[in-house]
Amino acid sequence: MDEGEEEAEGCWTPLAMTAEWSQTPASPGRLCALSRRDTLLSALACLVFGVWLAATVPSSPALGWDESMHAELPAARVALALRAGELGTAAHSLLGCAQYPPAWPAVLGLAQVPAGVSELLARGLTSLAWAVGLFFAFAVTHRAARASGRVDPRTAPWAALALGMLCPLAASFSGTLFLEVPSALATGFALWAWMRRADGPRAQRELVAGIAVAVALFTKWNYGLLLGAALAIDWVFELVAARKAGRSREFLLRARWLVAAPLAACLWWFVLPLPGGLDLAREHRAAFAGFLAGNLGATPATAAERILFAATGIGATVRLTVLVVVLAFAALRSARVPAVRVLVLAAGLLLGAPLVHPFFLDRFLIPGLVPLFALAGLGLALLLPREGPARTATIGILALASLLAPGRDGGWLADALERLPAEDPARGYVLGVLEDRVRLGPGRRLPTGGLERVEHDALLDLVAREVRAGERVGWIGMSSEISPAALHLGLLARGGGPAWFLDAHPPRLDVAYFGVDPTLDESELRAYAGRFDVILWTDPIDLRERRERAFVAGYRDWLLAIQASDVRELGRVAIARPLRAPLEVRLYACRRVP
């Protein structure tokens, strides 16, 4: 991909580079031809890998809260609105993505216009996103290898691609609708576009790089800001170099094209989000500030937990993860090269910030894996012997040592970090979880946070049999596992209409979300109930029996005491729980609440 635009003077790669990695001298033209061939082969490999990931996405669990509310809900609204010819509703749906930005929901929504809303299609697109992100990892590694002049520009990118395909963390989350995998794709695209600026002083390259930064920012705020900070630091290094060369004025003039797209996008979103207005802009600014300040008060994960989750996610074995980190550090020998320097900065910020933030989840590492694997590929090419047989033998030994017996060393590390229970059944359960974490094939886990598919479908089948066409549905005590979006997506899949999705302001389905008691009085509770034809709840009130949500049962009892009638039990569903007996959940419906 990065060889599509060669400068008039021919291939950039000098003849001197081949002496460092090949015994047979080659012309620059031959090197470029090889790189174009490898680029096509890598694109084909990524396509096959992406299709395989999409075809083997596990069917269970179902959509969790973040997936359904922040990705598939706006995507479904866009798709249904466009199918109905409601362009204003589609635009409103994307502008309503306040907590998380609208780029990936827009992609998912447009993809679902032809055939209708499909969770399977949405998951498959995220799988393809990881494959495309790996293609950009290949491209940026190839550019960095050529720019360094010290390594084989073929070995390094193929190594980076192979390491990415052996990453269980990304493979698992590529089947979900979390925004980390799309952010990894955006990161790879931005790094590639940033490196292309070195091909020559063309305004279009600066503009494309700026567009890529804007895409990364509007895919997810935090990763876009971290990547933007890395690129800003790299830009300062470029400015210093330009001043030393006496070209600072030309360099600064080019910068206007670089900042044009991010500046325009931010002005649109935070100042005047047409076709919205100033009130919507204030909501966007408040949501952005709240997002940046969120989770700072969370109980910090321990260092042992962070190490364990990272070590059992980056590579198919802990040994492979260690090898990746060692190889990435080896690449620091070439950190003075601008193309390598920007990879170091991006990996440092995108991985360092999640690792030190009080609120840590392993998926936060995924966007930083693109520059990390690129650096590891460069490091491997730097350390490998130059001779053919020795190189092959070294690669074989490293592969055998790092990939043999996957899933075993995770338990050893957990034990060493004192994170492995001493007694069964807890010990066996944790060992099973660690083995599941490193699966790469069809049996890999789907870390959604949702209910198991059979449980999810059983609950929604009961709801669908109760709710008549056009009726408004509420749910007291809505759990993280059944969000408002998941409820209505389930009804839509079972023949329900799209009215709720096309409503500009759909009614709030629950009296409270996130365990915060709104302290409603009787009139407010009546107003809530009056929005719906049917109100649902479960007993126990929360599907995971969270203590912080127990207060919602009080609102249910209070509502039933206000002259409610026609209360019926719809059925019972067993919810599986680790190391405990299944939780029997009863689903109820209430009608005609005045």
Residue in this structure with the two tokens 């936060």, named with its chain if needed: 364
In angstroms, the CA 346 to CA 338 distance is: 12
* Dihedral angle computed from the Cα positions of residues 78, 79, 84 and 87, in that order, rounded to the nearest 10 degrees: 30
Q: Could you say which DSSP state residue 314 is in?
A: S
Contact between residue 216 and residue 190 where contact means Cβ atoms under 8 Å apart: yes
385: how many CB neighbours lie within 10 A of its CB?
A: 12
In angstroms, the CA 84 to CA 96 distance is: 19
Sign of the Cα torsion 119, 120, 123, 125 reads negative
pLDDT of residue 281: 94
Three-class secondary structure assignment of 175-210: CCCCCHHHHHHHHHHHHHHHHHHHHCCCHHHHHHHH
CB-neighbour burial class of residue 284 (10 A; exposed 0-12, middle 13-18, buried 19+): buried
Residue 273 CB-half CA count within 13 A: 22
569: how many CB neighbours lie within 10 A of its CB?
A: 11
pLDDT of residue 33: 38
115: how many CB neighbours lie within 10 A of its CB?
A: 10
CB-neighbour burial class of residue 25 (10 A; exposed 0-12, middle 13-18, buried 19+): exposed
Q: Is the peptide bond before 14 cis (omega within 30 degrees of 0)?
A: no
Report the candidate in 204, 181, 205 with the shortest Cα–Cα distance to residue 193: 205
pLDDT of residue 195: 95
Q: Is 225 helix (H, G, I), strand (E, B) or coil?
A: helix
pTM (two decimals):
0.90
In angstroms, the CA 460 to CA 7 distance is: 59
Quote the tokens at residue 135: 């293609």
Amino acid identity for residue 363 in this structure: R
Quote the tokens at residue 582: 């299944």
pLDDT of residue 27: 38
Report the candidate in 105, 216, 100, 237 with the shortest Cα–Cα distance to residue 208: 216
Distance of CA 227 to the CA centre of its chain: 15
In angstroms, the CA 63 to CA 483 distance is: 9
pLDDT of residue 300: 86
The residue ranges of the chain whose pLDDT is under 70 are 1-34, 297-298, 563-565, 592-594
Contact between residue 450 and residue 61 where contact means Cβ atoms under 8 Å apart: yes
Q: Of how many residues is the chain composed?
A: 594
Contact between residue 245 and residue 357 where contact means Cβ atoms under 8 Å apart: no
> CA 554 → CA 29, 251, 511, 540, 560, distances in Å?
76, 65, 11, 12, 10
Largest CA distance in the chain: 90
pLDDT of residue 564: 63
Q: Summarize pLDDT for 207-253 with one digit per residue, the tens.
A: 999 999 999 999 999 999 999 999 999 999 999 999 999 898 888 99
Residue in this structure with the two tokens 């009296």, named with its chain if needed: 511
pLDDT of residue 408: 82
The residues facing 536 across adjacent strands are: 475, 589
Report the candidate in 572, 401, 578, 585 with the shortest Cα–Cα distance to residue 479: 585
The residues facing 590 across adjacent strands are: 535, 567
Q: Could you say which DSSP state residue 539 is in?
A: E
Radius of gyration of the chain (CA): 26
